[in-house]
Amino acid sequence: MARTTTENIYYGRSQQITADGCFAISFFRPSTSNPVNVAGIPLEAGQTLSIKQNVGDEDWSTYEIVFSTGAFTNEMYVTKIMPLTRG
């Protein structure tokens, strides 16, 4: 069984996000956020997009998040399950 660590990251602008070899990644749009697309997939307010790898596989993808204009602020929370490196 792999040892892991969890990273929680806040994003407030359109940009590319690298998965950095994670086992799983999720993108959460709060209900108070402007509209946002992740890799071309629109997320509804309060929705989470989760991507998980097969056991032993790592995700090295780059995901583009793009905020649209709206009445709220730009908010996106990304959670990555990363392999724990021994050092």
Contact between 83 and 21 under an 8 Å Cβ cutoff? The reply is yes
Range list of β-strands (E), 1-87? 4-11, 15-18, 24-28, 36-38, 41-43, 48-52, 62-67, 76-83
Q: How confident is the model at residue 2 (pLDDT cuts 50, 70, 90)?
A: confident
- Domains, the chain: 4-83 (2.60.120.10)
31-48: pLDDT as tens digits: 999 999 999 999 999 999
39-80: pLDDT as tens digits: 999 999 999 999 999 888 999 999 999 999 989 999 999 999
